[in-house]
C-alpha cells in the first residue's frame, strides 16, 4: 500500500505501547465536575442554569450567544453547586459550572434522528451537530457546525477523517478506531452528507494497521477510502495531511476549505454519529492517560469536566516525582499548573511525566546546524525566527513568515542548543499582531 507523506517532520519516541493495547474503560463519575463555559474557539457560552438547580445528563447548561460558539451540556445528573470562575486548561480563569453529581441517572437527550446518513436531511444533521455542541475533537476545538457550513463560493469535494494521531503517547483515536469503527464510518458519512462531498477519505498512520483493518471491515469501499500515511510527526496536522493525501497546499493564512477540503478528527465523527443516532450531546470523550508518571496508563471514556486528579487515580495513581502534567500530547500539549483542571471537549490526552533534568535546562546560542530548517514542515527558517525574536526585531519576524508557523514543535524538538524556538515564535506572533493593531489605529 502506498504511504502518503509530506516534507520535513520528525520521528520522536512514540511511546504508544504504554496505552495502545489498553481497551477503553469507563473513568467513572468524579465527586465534582467543573465545566468551563468556554471549551471552544469563539464566543463563550452564557450559563443556562443557576446555582442550586437540579440538572439532568444531557441538559444544556451553557447557551450560545453567537454563531461561532458551541453549547455546553451537563455530562451527569446532579445539582449545580455554584457558577464561578475556575482554572481552564488553557491557563486563564473561565466562568464554569460546578456540578455535584447524584446517582439518580436522570437523562435528557435529544430525539434520535436515525442511523443512515443516506436517509437523513443534511439540514437536520447540521442542526443536530450545532445543538449537540460538537467541536473539533483533535484539540483545535473549533465549533464543528461552523466548519461544516462553508460559504457558497468554497465548495468542498473531499472530507478527510483524521485518524493519524501523530502525537507521541496518545492512543485515544487509535482505540476508538479499533473499538468503534462503525460509529466513525457512520459519523463520517453524516458529515459527508452535510458537506455534499464527492469523496470521504480516512487517513491513518502506518503504525496502526489494526485500526485500518477494522475501519475497512466496518466501511464500504465504495463510500469511504482508507489510506495509510507515513508514521511521522506532524502527519496529523491539517495542512500536512491535505498535502500528503491530495497534494493540495492550503494557502498561507487560509483554511482547508480554500482548497475544497474539510478535515475532521475521528473523535468528531464519533460525536456526530452519537448525536444523530442516539441524540447524545457532546458530554463525554475518550482520553488517554499516560506517561511514566502514572502507574497504569490507559484509555478512558471521560465525562467532560472531570478533574485530571480523578483520571490519575483511574490510571493507578502517580509514579515517582511528577515534573509535568500535560494536556494533549508532548509535542503540542499544554503544561498544567494544577491537577485540578478539568478535561474539556478538546482534551485528547493527559500526559504525566516524571521530573527529568532536561525540563529545566537552559539553552545555547543558535549554532546554525539547520536541523530545524530540515524538519520544518512549512519550510520556515525556525532558527532565524528564534534569533529574530531573541533580538526583539519584531519588524523582521513578519517577513520571515512567523504567522505561517503551525507550532508543531519539530524545530524545538531537534534543536541541539535546546532553544525554546516555539516559545520565541509564539511571542513574536503576539508582538507582530500588537504592532499591526497599533498601526491600524
Partner 1 sequence: MANEQNSLILSTSPHIKSDESVRKIMLSVNITLVPAAAFSVYQFGLYTLLLYAVSIATCLVSEYVVVRLRKRTFTLNDGSALVTGILLVMVLPPRFPAYGVVLGAFVSIVIGKQIFGGLGNNIFNPALIGRAFLAATYPVHISQWILPRMSAAAVSGATPLAGMKFDGIVTPFSDLFFGTVSGSIGETSAILLILGSLYLLMKKYIKWRIPASIFVTVIVLGEIFHLINPAKFPGPVFHLFAGGLMIGALYMAADMVTSPITKKGCVIYGCAIGLLVIIIRLFGGLAEGVMYAILFMNAFVPLINRATKPRIFGTGVNHEY
The window from 134-142, 209-217, 401-409, 430-438 that contacts partner 1 (CB under 8 A) reads 401-409
Q: Would you call 349 helix, strand, or coil by DSSP?
A: strand
Strand duo 54-55 + 72-73: pairing: unpaired
Binding letters toward partner 1, positions 148-187, x by CB under 8 A: --------------------x-------------------
Per-residue cell: 401:
513568515
CB of 40 to partner 1, least distance (A): 20
Strand 54-55 to 78-87 pairing: antiparallel
Q: Does 362 bind partner 1 (CB under 8 A)?
A: yes
Q: Kindly tell me which residue out of 4, 9, 10, 310 binds partner 1, with binding defined by CB under 8 A.
A: 10
Please report whether residue 92 would count as binding partner 1 according to CB under 8 A.
Answer: no
Rounded to whole angstroms, how far apart are CA atoms 27 and 142?
25
Q: Which string of DSSP letters, residue by residue, matches 373-416?
A: HHH-TT---HHHHHHHHHTT-HHHHHHTTGGG-----HHHHH-T
Q: Which is nearer to partner 1, 271 or 353 (CB)?
A: 353
Considering only residues 409 through 428, tell me which ones interact with partner 1, judged by CB under 8 A: 409, 412-418, 420, 422-423, 426
Q: What gap in Å lies between CA 292 and CA 98, rounded to an integer?
A: 31
Least distance between partner 1 and beta carbon 290 (Å): 13
CA neighbor of 241 nearest in space, from 166, 191, 187, 148: 166
Pick the closer one to partner 1 by CB: 106 or 334: 334
Shortest separation between residue 410's beta carbon and partner 1, angstroms: 8
The most distant pair of C-alpha atoms in the chain lies apart, rounded to whole Å, by 63
Q: Please identify, using beta-carbon distances, which residue of 136 and 409 lies nearer to partner 1.
A: 409
For partner 1, which is the closer residue by CB, 17 or 249? 249
Q: How many Cα neighbours within 13 Å face the side chain of 258?
A: 10
109 binds partner 1, rule: CB under 8 A: no
Q: From 46-54, 147-155, 299-307, 361-369, give the range in contact with partner 1 by CB under 8 A.
A: 361-369
Instruction: Give the Cα separation of 388 and 401 in Å (integer).
Output: 12
Alpha-carbon distance of 10 to 186, in angstroms, equals 33
Question: Cβ of residue 340: shortest distance to partner 1, in angstroms?
Answer: 8
Under the criterion CB under 8 A, does residue 12 sit at the interface with partner 1? yes
Q: Does 51 bind partner 1 (CB under 8 A)?
A: no
Q: Which is nearer to partner 1, 330 or 342 (CB)?
A: 330
* Residue 142 CB coordination number (10 Å): 18
Residues 302-331 as x/- pattern, contact with partner 1 by CB under 8 A = -------x--------x--xxxxxx-x-xx
- Span from 22-30, 46-54, 97-105, 404-412 in contact with partner 1 (CB under 8 A): 404-412
8 Å CB contact between 266 and 218: no
Residue indicated by cell numbers 535546562: 361
Residue 17 found at the interface with partner 1 (CB under 8 A): no
Query: Taking Cα atoms as reference points, which of 16, 308, 311 lies closest to residue 165?
Result: 16
CA angle (193 as vertex; 188, 198 as ends), nearest 5:
90
User: Considering beta carbons, is residue 258 or 278 the nearer one to partner 1?
Assistant: 258
The residues pairing with 226 across neighbouring beta strands, listed in sequence order, are 202
Give the Cα separation of 24 and 300 in Å (integer): 5
- Residues linked to residue 350 through DSSP beta bridges, in sequence order: 289, 327
Q: Which is nearer to partner 1, 106 or 255 (CB)?
A: 255
Contacts (CB under 8 A) with partner 1, residues 231-290: 239, 243, 246, 248-254, 258-260
Contacts with partner 1 in 371-400 (CB under 8 A)?
A: 371, 373-374, 377-381, 383-384, 400
The number of residues that bind partner 1 (CB under 8 A) is 77
- Interface of this chain with partner 1, residues 331 to 350, rule: CB under 8 A: 331-340
Amino acid at each position: 500500500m502506498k504511504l502518503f507523506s509530506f516534507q520535513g517532520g520528525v520521528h520522536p519516541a512514540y511511546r504508544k505501547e504504554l496505552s495502545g493495547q489498553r481497551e477503553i474503560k469507563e473513568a467513572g463519575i468524579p465527586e465534582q465536575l467543573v465545566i468551563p463555559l468556554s471549551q471552544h474557539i469563539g464566543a463563550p457560552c452564557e450559563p443556562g442554569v443557576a446555582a442550586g438547580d437540579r440538572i439532568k445528563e444531557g441538559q444544556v447548561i451553557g447557551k450560545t450567544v453567537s454563531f461561532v460558539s458551541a453549547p455546553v451540556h451537563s455530562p451527569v445528573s446532579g445539582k449545580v453547586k455554584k457558577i464561578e470562575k475556575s482554572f481552564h486548561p488553557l491557563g486563564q480563569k473561565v466562568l464554569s459550572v460546578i456540578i455535584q453529581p447524584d446517582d439518580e441517572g436522570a437523562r435528557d437527550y435529544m430525539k434520535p434522528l436515525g442511523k443512515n446518513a443516506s436517509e437523513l436531511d443534511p439540514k437536520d444533521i447540521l442542526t443536530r451537530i450545532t445543538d449537540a455542541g460538537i467541536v473539533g475533537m483533535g484539540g483545535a476545538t473549533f465549533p464543528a457546525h461552523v466548519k461544516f457550513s462553508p460559504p457558497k463560493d468554497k465548495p468542498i469535494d473531499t472530507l478527510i477523517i483524521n485518524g493519524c494521531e501523530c502525537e507521541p503517547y496518545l492512543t485515544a483515536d487509535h482505540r476508538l478506531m479499533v473499538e468503534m469503527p462503525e460509529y466513525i464510518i457512520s459519523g463520517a458519512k453524516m458529515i459527508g452528507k452535510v458537506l455534499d462531498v464527492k469523496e470521504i477519505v480516512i487517513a491513518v498512520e502506518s503504525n496502526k494497521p489494526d485500526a485500518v483493518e477494522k475501519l475497512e471491515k466496518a466501511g464500504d469501499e465504495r463510500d469511504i477510502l482508507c489510506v495509510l500515511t507515513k508514521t511521522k510527526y506532524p502527519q496529523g496536522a491539517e495542512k500536512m495531511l491535505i498535502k500528503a493525501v491530495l497534494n493540495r497546499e492550503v494557502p498561507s493564512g487560509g483554511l482547508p476549505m480554500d482548497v475544497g477540503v474539510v478535515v475532521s478528527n475521528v473523535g468528531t465523527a464519533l460525536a456526530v454519529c452519537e448525536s444523530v443516532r442516539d441524540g447524545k450531546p457532546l458530554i463525554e470523550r475518550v482520553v488517554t492517560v499516560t506517561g511514566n508518571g502514572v502507574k497504569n496508563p490507559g484509555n478512558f471514556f471521560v465525562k467532560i469536566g472531570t478533574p485530571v486528579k480523578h483520571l490519575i487515580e483511574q490510571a493507578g495513581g502517580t509514579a515517582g516525582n511528577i515534573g509535568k502534567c500535560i494536556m494533549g500530547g508532548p509535542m503540542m500539549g499544554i503544561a498544567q499548573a494544577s491537577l485540578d483542571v478539568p478535561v474539556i471537549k478538546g482534551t485528547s490526552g493527559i500526559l504525566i511525566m516524571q521530573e527529568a533534568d532536561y525540563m529545566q535546562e537552559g539553552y545555547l546560542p543558535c549554532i546554525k546546524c539547520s536541523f530545524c530548517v530540515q524538519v520544518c514542515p512549512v519550510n520556515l527558517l525556525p532558527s532565524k525566527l528564534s534569533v529574530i525574536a531573541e533580538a526583539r526585531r519584531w519588524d523582521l519576524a513578519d517577513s520571515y513568515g512567523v504567522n505561517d508557523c503551525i507550532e508543531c514543535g519539530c524545530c524545538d524538538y531537534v534543536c541541539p542548543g535546546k532553544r525554546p524556538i516555539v516559545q520565541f515564535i509564539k511571542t513574536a506572533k503576539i508582538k507582530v499582531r500588537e504592532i499591526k493593531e497599533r498601526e491600524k489605529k
